[in-house]
Amino acid sequence: MPDTQKLSFHVPDPGLRPGDTPDFSHVKIPQAGSVRRPEIDESPAEMRDLAFSIIRVLNRNGQAVGPWAGSLDTERLIEGLRHMMTLRIFDARMMTAQRQGKTSFYMQHLGEEAVSCAFRLALEPGDMNFPTYRQAGLLIASGYPMTQMMNQIYSNEADPLRGRQLPILYASQEHGFFTVSGNLATQFVQAVGWAMASAISGDSRIAAGWIGDGSTAENDFHAGMVFASTYRAPVVLNIVNNQWAISTFQGIAVGEAGTLAARGHGFGIPALRVDGNDYLAVHAVAKWAVARARRNLGPTVIEYVTYRAGGHSTSDDPAAYRPKEESAAWPLGDPILRLKTHLIEIGAWSEERHVQAEAQIRDEVIAAQKAAESIGTMHSGRQPSPREMFEDVYAEMPAHLIRQRHEVGY
Amino acid sequence: MPDTQKLSFHVPDPGLRPGDTPDFSHVKIPQAGSVRRPEIDESPAEMRDLAFSIIRVLNRNGQAVGPWAGSLDTERLIEGLRHMMTLRIFDARMMTAQRQGKTSFYMQHLGEEAVSCAFRLALEPGDMNFPTYRQAGLLIASGYPMTQMMNQIYSNEADPLRGRQLPILYASQEHGFFTVSGNLATQFVQAVGWAMASAISGDSRIAAGWIGDGSTAENDFHAGMVFASTYRAPVVLNIVNNQWAISTFQGIAVGEAGTLAARGHGFGIPALRVDGNDYLAVHAVAKWAVARARRNLGPTVIEYVTYRAGGHSTSDDPAAYRPKEESAAWPLGDPILRLKTHLIEIGAWSEERHVQAEAQIRDEVIAAQKAAESIGTMHSGRQPSPREMFEDVYAEMPAHLIRQRHEVGY
Amino acid sequence: MARMTMVEAIRDAHDVAMARDDRVIVFGEDVGYFGGVFRCTAGLQKKYGKSRCFDTPISESGIVGTAIGMAAYGLRPCVEMQFADYMYPAYDQIVSEAARLRYRSAGEFTCPIVVRMPTGGGIFGGQTHSQSPEALFTHVAGLKTVVPSNPRDAKGLLLAAIDDPDPVIFLEPKRLYNGQFDGHYDKPIVSWKKSELSEVDEGYAPIPLGRAKLRREGRDVTILAYGTMVHVALAAVADSGIDGEVIDLRTLMPLDIDMITASVRKTGRCVVVHEATLTSGFGAELVALVQQECFWHLEAPVARVAGWDTPYPHAQEWHYFPGPPRIAKALQAVMEA
Amino acid sequence: MARMTMVEAIRDAHDVAMARDDRVIVFGEDVGYFGGVFRCTAGLQKKYGKSRCFDTPISESGIVGTAIGMAAYGLRPCVEMQFADYMYPAYDQIVSEAARLRYRSAGEFTCPIVVRMPTGGGIFGGQTHSQSPEALFTHVAGLKTVVPSNPRDAKGLLLAAIDDPDPVIFLEPKRLYNGQFDGHYDKPIVSWKKSELSEVDEGYAPIPLGRAKLRREGRDVTILAYGTMVHVALAAVADSGIDGEVIDLRTLMPLDIDMITASVRKTGRCVVVHEATLTSGFGAELVALVQQECFWHLEAPVARVAGWDTPYPHAQEWHYFPGPPRIAKALQAVMEA
Ligand SMILES: Cc1ncc(C[n+]2csc(CCOP(=O)(O)OP(=O)(O)O)c2C)c(N)n1
Ligand SMILES: Cc1ncc(C[n+]2csc(CCOP(=O)(O)OP(=O)(O)O)c2C)c(N)n1
Ligand SMILES: [Mg+2]
Ligand SMILES: [Mg+2]
């Protein structure tokens, strides 16, 4: 019998829009320390629960609690705090630089600093990240010179990418930072390929793939999962769920389906969900997954639950599509504040030292910026030669490109 | 500390190759009747178990048992048996016809007849299938004329597709059979789009997407899952796991990850696994999923566990990559034999009637074949005009195609 | 008659199409609530509801794939790729499916969809926000390819594209969205409202696909262009003082070969202009056709001015862009040949 | 020196490359245990192990995407698309990633991969086993595109492609895999072993990319062809009695424009031949270049003979295929112009 009921069309909706009062009561947040820590060789089928919870270490009082605590010593934590502070100040200055017309475009990490900064410390030299545009913390935390980053952002004469690439789409073989693509998700499966290559070569280096919540909808997310699963590639597959993809909330990518981490289950890949604003939790989970990969136990999916506190990019104003105060209402707090509180709580830090550190870092960033600007910015100073436009299309310039280069007069 | 252990590369392997003795002891087969039947509005999170088992109705003795039994009356079952027998005889004749040079290519359903034949009976007129090349049972079971199918296979003058399309890539709006693509997986997301359109239009018709085990690795599988999940589209997403994709066993697509059905979980889509060689089970599960879609409860994933008993196509010889006797060792048996046994068991059928039916169906198929061959085959008789080559590129033929057509002399 | 920017005209075309035909459905990334990153669909969700204008997951293949299914159902989806540079994941669905649905099913199923996408450079978007992939569509039988150069055409052609029974690729030069642009990037931006080309017919007024438009009569040389390059070509003509005849192709497939042929036979010279990379660009096809149809009238080789055969660079944008000086130089060369 | 079919020559090239360079890795759908549906990789898994030659999931994007990652690591992946018609899901990875890796990272990362794929018709494969998508690659800066026409070249060019520091698209005319074919489809198949072109140099003997090969000297007209069409063009020359000069381009990008120019300047006439659809095919680029470089030497418009602007049909295959009669007709027309 046909059921003659009419179908209706469902479109997920964040519910709250500009003017509404933000409300995150639907986000279930387990207590810090409450989620178990499996052995790294535990079978994926035995740890499905971890995709539906949130691993957290720092509690409200700034104490590190539970089985995931203790992956870093105090010195490293202070270092981590400085990385995050550096990234935030760097971002703020570059946002301003963009408004001043010194570059065409910028994307910041506001609220998400812990994810890339803490992850980086879990890697070894030689490991390779395949990042999106929102993981500059990987560079900061690995000591990549800020002036180089700014040279790239300004597309000036010293830009290591010779002015060819959009700002912030950095690349550094040495710092384990694969050339960032403007096309979403393509890097996710490339990371798997790199990891496969390492395994094929009997190497011990591993790879990390990165993707945003919105970008998990892209097809290459699937390709990455399939190949990682089939060949048990030594790769950590990072999903940064910052709740927003430009103007669309994560429900458009996730449906009302549970979690992005759970996508790992269909591939037999263990999947962990972690408080992305908890530096300690991010590091502990990353370390676990990295060890698993390095022990030849295969891929791990990690979903970082965080919040994009700023606009998508300098071209975006979130006031057009979400409540203004939503960012402040985000229940997982601010990663810098939380780590700072923890360090103070354990007596390793103080408000004064924080203020001092902030001033010092600001000076460092400003110095870097001055150095970069003394070379040039987008529209002033020394810029890369138009000749650069024709280089690196191929290893050797073919005749037709030489002719074209001559036409421009170089 | 870097763990200096060397990585090694893992490639899944079927283990058994030509010359080895087939062994399916790793395939866990639950008893018929043992898997529960949830309410159609049960929450997907509550029925994850169903993706890791196999729903079966017919037991070894040919009895229909358990909560999924009883979805069809005896008359319909006999009809179903005839559909499967028709498909098998049709296939056998076309395989021969291909060897005789009457067509360029053919793909058969040997061993998988239950899947498409039983599924079709769960649909209503107006519903739309987006099939692969291995669901001709959908046409047979909906009364599409066999002569038309053969005209298409022979690319003769009466070919409804005017000789343009590879054999067996049928298309029939009226019979709810979307034009089959040569490109794998593209139809999976199109099915979701059709279902979305039905919901947008306040219609009551639903769609069914089809895909093979190997093809689930394609990117558009993901696109289909994402859109079905986000918009809760009224669609049944069918995965036919016949263990092989040309020469690669299902482990290459699935990894050692559990089941293909479980891929639904990451999308909050309920996923059922069913004995694809059990006509009753296939129908019962299909009916459940169709009802769910029609009640606006959204998509369902169904994985049919079956076995490709023949070669991939007429261009393929499986003796090159799998043990010869593997097909006979397949533990879920033959769908026709199993339904026949059941019908005999319940006293609705007999060996004599079976032999009779077989003879009668063979006559029907032969008559259809004669009718088609009286028009023409691939290389003899009446063929479509070369003029047809230029039609239907666009609704209206543009000037440059008219010029090109004139050049051919038509 | 109202004066509109190109964005407004595109929005208006959507609005008119949706109002007159329930089957018209609009979707894409950020297209629903927000109204598109270039605002081309702003207001549509509010007016027509979430069932007819909605946001999608970031999956170009999913967008085009579902649109194809919807078209097969009987709807008329008009979808947006956020940038043409991001259409590649959908390329399989466009080429293997949309383009061949009618052909392979002998008309049992058809695919009346429109795939809109912003193209071209001029916004310092670098290699992934600047591409002009028209040649990747014109090579594919079964597709129509449209490139408007002004608000008036954008509206009329989009209406025709939505009505069209076949899949239409609708390329929108993003540099023209919010203002006129003639390639003199160092001059201040000129509002569309100052141009007659921003006078958009009210209501339903489609402009048929397949007809080019003469933008400037001239006797010396025919210039074939489309999109942004029409204006750049006009500027080059003005700058060079050469009496160029500028044809705005508007539709690349089907192509208005008659207007092209008549013009080149008259002028005896031809320069083809586009922003996409030179090699295997659509300009190659135009040259091939022109030399075939007008060989005995040609007094000089047909010249091409196009993007260099490199990815679109970021900082060197204006060295890459085939601006008025490069076109003027080519005009000169053709005149002197 | 051994006589080989094209399949054997390709297999041999793989073998030689894998033996001399550990970094060479071969994979694709059905490529491992079975050795490929056309058998081009048969025996490699057995010889080099599952880590260096393996089967993949059916995901063209995954195949090319992982190959890119492997190349960035330092390996030299040589992958197979089962048919060129199925490369579209990988097109984004090829165009947006492989082609631009070196450029966008200023050489920090490079992409020495080879993507092999069988192209062309002649096996009644219908619209999804017959395509020739070379123009979709030649338009993309950063890619090299190679099309061998015989076993000898197939081996040498594949070795060079694998060595190449940049991504190479390697198109294999499937109609030539197992025997010679000159377009006379009604004549019996001629074994490769009867042709000198099947004499393949032993061991490591790469043939540099970017050099065309003169297949037949002639005075009347230059014929530009590649892949299967080289042989069809030669047959057309024989059939027509016109003294055609046949150039086998071998590499479309970079193109041996010097040989082309010299020949056309000599003959004054040119016919361009390919199997892909006419409009925006690579032939358009060739015509554009020829008329640019040889305008004052041309005594007739450059003609194109190509596949019709339709999908590749199944039953009408030989009406679609640009066989010797159509080429001969074009030669005649060009001579009479
Ligand atoms: C293939 C492709 N499609 C669309 C875009 C445009 N785009 C750039 S960023 C973005 C949103 C990504 O959201 P998410 O993955 O959540 O990352 P986030 O920005 O939140 O870090 C979109 C749609 C693109 N860059 N590439
Ligand atoms: C995009 C694409 N890639 C590759 C192929 C070649 N191909 C045709 S069928 C097939 C195997 C499909 O296996 P599966 O999905 O398991 O379906 P089955 O044949 O078992 O029914 C392959 C690789 C194709 N048709 N399309
Ligand atoms: Mg996000
Ligand atoms: Mg299969």
Chain D: closest CA distance from residue B245 (Å)? 8
How many CB contacts within 8 angstroms connect chain A with chain C? 121
Of D179, D200, D221, which residue sits at a domain end? Answer: D200
Look up residue B225 and give its two tokens.
Answer: 């899952």
Measured between CA atoms, how close is C110 to chain B, in angstroms?
9
Stated as kind and residue range, the H or E segment containing C127 is none
Give dist(CA B211, CA B115) in Å, integer: 12
Quick one: CA torsion of B113, B119, B124, B130, rounded to 10 degrees? -80
pLDDT tens digits, C257-273: 999 999 999 999 999 99
Q: Are C222 and C244 in contact (CB under 8 A)?
A: yes
pLDDT tens digits, A94-140: 999 999 999 999 999 999 999 999 999 999 999 999 999 999 999 99
User: How far is the C-alpha of C259 from the C-alpha of C273, rounded, in Å?
Assistant: 16
**Residues C149, C260 share a domain:** no
pLDDT band of residue C1 (cuts 50, 70, 90) is confident
Choose the catalytic residue: C14, C129, C231, C274: C129
Which chain C residue lies closest to B202 (C-alpha atoms)? Answer: C51
Domain identity same for D234 and D177: no
**Total number of domains in chain C:** 2
Q: Give chains near B: 3+ CB pairs under 8 A.
A: A, C, D
Judge contact between D308 and B390, C-beta under 8 A. yes
Q: Which amino acid is at D178?
A: N
The ipTM of this complex is 0.98
Structure tokens at D174: 């499937």
Is the distance from CB of C162 to CB of C71 less than 8 angstroms? no
The answer as to whether D176 is a domain residue is yes
Determine the length of chain C.
Answer: 337
Contact A136, A180 (CB under 8 A): no
- Residue whose Cα lies nearest atom 11 of ligand 1: it is A245
Q: Which atom of ligand 1 is nearest to the CA of C58?
A: 23
pLDDT in tens, D233-248: 999 999 999 999 999 9
B409 vs D: CB within 8 A: no
Model pLDDT for residues B137-177, shown as the tens digit of each residue: 999 999 999 999 999 999 999 999 999 999 999 999 999 99
Pairing state between β D2-3 and C303-307: unpaired
C-alpha to C-alpha distance for A168 and A183, rounded to whole angstroms: 14
In a 10 Å sphere around its CB, with 0-12 CB exposed, 13-18 middle and 19+ buried, how is residue A407 labelled? Answer: exposed
Rg for chain B (alpha carbons), in Å?
22
Residue B351 in tokens: 């060996």
- In chain C, residues with a C-beta closer than 8 Å to the C-beta of B396 are 165
Q: Is A160 helix (H, G, I), strand (E, B) or coil?
A: coil
Residue A336 has pLDDT above 50, yes or no: yes
Q: What part of A 211-240 touches D (C-beta under 8 Å)?
A: 219-220, 222-224, 226-227, 230
Same domain, C22 and C116: yes
Instruction: Kindly give the distance from the C-alpha atom of residue C66 to the centroid of ligand 2, in angstroms, as a whole number.
Output: 21
Say if residue B1's pLDDT is above 80.
no
Give residue C87's domain range.
Answer: 2-200
- Could you tell me the two tokens for D274? 């390919």
Mean local confidence (pLDDT), C77-86: 98
Chain C residues closer than 8 Å to B160 by CB: 106, 108
* Cα C29 to ligand 1 centre (Å): 9
Q: Do residues B155 and B384 touch, judged by C-beta distance below 8 A?
A: yes
Q: Does C100 touch chain D (CB under 8 A)?
A: yes
Q: Which domain CATH number covers C270?
A: 3.40.50.920
- Three-class DSSP category at D304: strand
What is the distance between the alpha carbons of residues D309 and D312, in angstroms, rounded to a whole number?
9
- Residue A1 is predicted with a pLDDT of 43
What does B138-174 look like in DSSP terms, one character per residue? Answer: HHHTTT--HHHHHHHHHT-TT-TTTT-S-TT---BTT
Q: Are residues D16 and D111 in the same domain?
A: yes
Contacts of D40 (CB under 8 A, 6+ apart): D7, D10, D11, D14, D80, D116, D172, D177
Amino acid at C233: A
Ligand 2 environment, Cβ below 6 A: B 134, 182-184, 212-215, 240, 242, 244-246, 308, 312; D 29, 58, 82, 86, 89
- Please choose, from the candidates C82, C189, C154, the residue with its C-alpha nearest in 3D space to the C-alpha of residue C125: C82
Do D194 and D235 fall within a single domain?
no
Residues C105 and C221 in one domain: no
pLDDT at residue B196 tops 80: yes
Same domain, C141 and C226: no
The confidence band for D16, taking pLDDT boundaries of 50, 70 and 90, is: very high
**DSSP reduced 3-state for A122:** coil
D251/D157 Cα distance (integer angstroms):
9
| Residue D31 domain flag | yes
Task: Inform me whether the C-beta atom of residue B196 falls under 8 Å from chain C C-beta atoms.
Answer: yes
Q: Is C204 in the pocket of ligand 1 (CB under 6 A)?
A: no
Pair type for strands D2-3 and D24-28 = unpaired
Q: Which CATH class is domain A44-379?
A: alpha beta
Residue C75 CB contacts under 8 Å (≥ 6 apart), including other chains: B197, B200, B201, C23, C24, C25
- Say if residues B214 and B248 touch (Cβ distance below 8 Å): yes
Q: Which two tokens stand for residue C254?
A: 């089907």
Facing A392 at nearest CB: one of D57, D103, D144: D103
Asked if residue A2 has pLDDT above 90, the reply is no
How remote is the C-alpha of D141 from its chain's centroid? 18
With respect to residue C205, please indicate whether it lies within any of the assigned structural domains: no
CB B33 within 8 A of CB B69: yes
Q: Residue A311, by phi and psi: left (phi above 0), alpha (psi -120 to 50) or beta?
A: beta
Three-state DSSP class for residue A271:
strand
| C290-312 per-position pLDDT tens digit | 999 999 999 999 999 999 999 99
Q: Is B5 exposed, middle or buried, given 0-12, 13-18 or 19+ CB atoms closer than 10 A?
A: exposed
Choosing among B128, B133, B164, B189, which should be mutated to test the C contact, i.e. which has the most C CBs within 10 A? B189
* Statement to judge: residues C246 and C291 lie in one domain: yes
Measured CA to CA, the distance from residue B249 to residue B312 in angstroms comes to: 12
The answer on pLDDT for B257 being more than 80 is no
Torsion of CA D88, D91, D92, D96, to 10 degrees: -170
Q: Determine, for residues B194 and C108 on separate chains, whether the beta-carbon distance falls below 8 Å.
A: no
Q: How far is B390 from chain A (nearest CA, A)?
A: 34
Shared domain for D139 and D96, answered yes or no, is yes
Cis check: omega of the bond before A270, within 30 degrees of 0: no
Residue B347, C-beta contacts closer than 8 angstroms, at least 6 positions apart = none
- What's the Rg (C-alpha) of chain C? 19
In a shared domain, residues D193 and D281 = no
Residue C148 · residue C207 · CB < 8 Å: no
Spatial separation of the C-alpha atoms in residues B280 and D65, rounded to whole Å: 42
Q: Whose CA is nearest to atom 13 of ligand 1?
A: A245
Residue of D82, D83, D128, D129 to mutate, ligand 2, most atoms within 8 A of C-beta: D82
Last residue of a domain, one of D153, D175, D200: D200
Kindly report, residue by residue over B92-109, the tens digit of the pLDDT: 999 999 999 999 999 999
Q: Global pTM?
A: 0.98
Q: Please indicate, yes or no, whether residues D92 and D57 belong to a single structural domain of this protein.
A: yes
Q: Is residue D207 situated within a structural domain? A: no
DSSP state of A64: B
| Mean predicted lDDT score pLDDT of chain A | 96
Angle between helices A279-294 and A74-99 (to 10 degrees): 110
Domain ranges of chain B: 44-379, 385-410
Nearest chain A Cα distance for residue B265, angstroms: 7
Distance B48 CA to ligand 4 centre (A): 24
Alpha helices in A203-301 (DSSP H): 219-231, 251-254, 279-294
Would the CB atoms of A321 and C33 count as touching at under 8 Å?
Answer: yes
Best interface-test mutation with D: which of C104, C280, C304 has the largest number of D CBs within 10 A? Answer: C280
**Which pLDDT value is given to residue B2?**
47
Q: Is the pLDDT of residue B386 over 80?
A: yes
Terminal Cα-to-Cα distance of chain A (whole angstroms):
76
Nearest ligand to residue B134 Cα = 2
Q: Tell me how far apart the alpha carbons of residues A128 and A140 are, in angstroms, rounded to a whole number.
A: 15
Dist CA D200 CA D153 (whole Å): 8
Percent of chain D having pLDDT more than 70? 100
CA of residue A105 to ligand 1 center, whole Å: 15
Q: CA-based diameter of chain D, in Å? A: 59
Chosen domain end from D200, D234, D260: D200
For the CA atoms of D68, D72, D78, D81, the dihedral, rounded to the nearest 10 degrees, stands at 0
Distances A252 to B231, B263, D138 between C-alpha atoms, Å: 9, 19, 37
Nearest to B326 by CA among B242, B255, B254: B242
pLDDT band, very low/low/confident/very high, at D124 (cuts 50, 70, 90): very high
Please tell me the distance in Å from C192's CA to the nearest CA on chain B: 34
CA distance B338 to B405: 54
pLDDT reported for residue D185 = 96
Report residue B27's pLDDT band, with 50, 70 and 90 as the boundaries: confident
What does each C-alpha distance from B233 to B229, B230, B285 come to in angstroms?
7, 8, 18
Does one domain contain both C267 and C125? no
DSSP state of A130: E
The answer to whether the Cβ–Cβ distance between C55 and A248 falls below 8 Å is yes
Question: Position A192: which residue type?
Answer: V
Binary contact (A392, D61; C-beta < 8 A): no
Residue C298 lies in a domain: yes
Q: Determine contact, residues C183/C39, Cβ cutoff 8 Å.
A: no
Helix (H), strand (E), coil (C) string for C31-42: CCCCCCCCCCCC
Task: Strands of chain D (E only): list them.
Answer: 2-3, 24-28, 53-55, 76-80, 114-119, 144-146, 168-173, 199-200, 213-216, 221-225, 244-248, 251-253, 270-277, 303-307
Pick from A181, A392, A399: CB nearest D96: A181
Burial per residue of B63-93, b for 16 or more beta-carbon CB atoms within 10 angstroms, e otherwise:
bbbbebbebbeeeebbebbbbbbbbbbbbeb
Handedness of CA A209, A214, A215, A218 (dihedral sign): positive
- From the number of C-beta atoms within 10 Å of its C-beta (0-12, 13-18, 19+), residue B41 rates as exposed
> B129, B133, B178, B190: which to substitute to probe chain C, counting the most C Cβ within 10 Å?
B190
Region C177-189 average pLDDT: 96
**DSSP at A19:** T
Instruction: List, for residues D208-220, the tens digit of each pLDDT value.
Output: 999 999 999 999 9
D50: closest chain A residue by CA: A200
Residue C70 has phi, psi (to 5 degrees) of -65, -40
Whole-number Å distance between alpha carbons of B383 and B364: 24
Q: Chain-centre distance of CA A195, in angstroms?
A: 19
**Which is the closest atom of ligand 1 to the Cα of C128?**
25
Give pLDDT tens digits for A371-406. 999 999 999 999 999 999 999 999 999 999 999 999
Question: Checking DSSP bridges between strand D244-248 and strand D251-253, what pairing results, if any?
Answer: unpaired
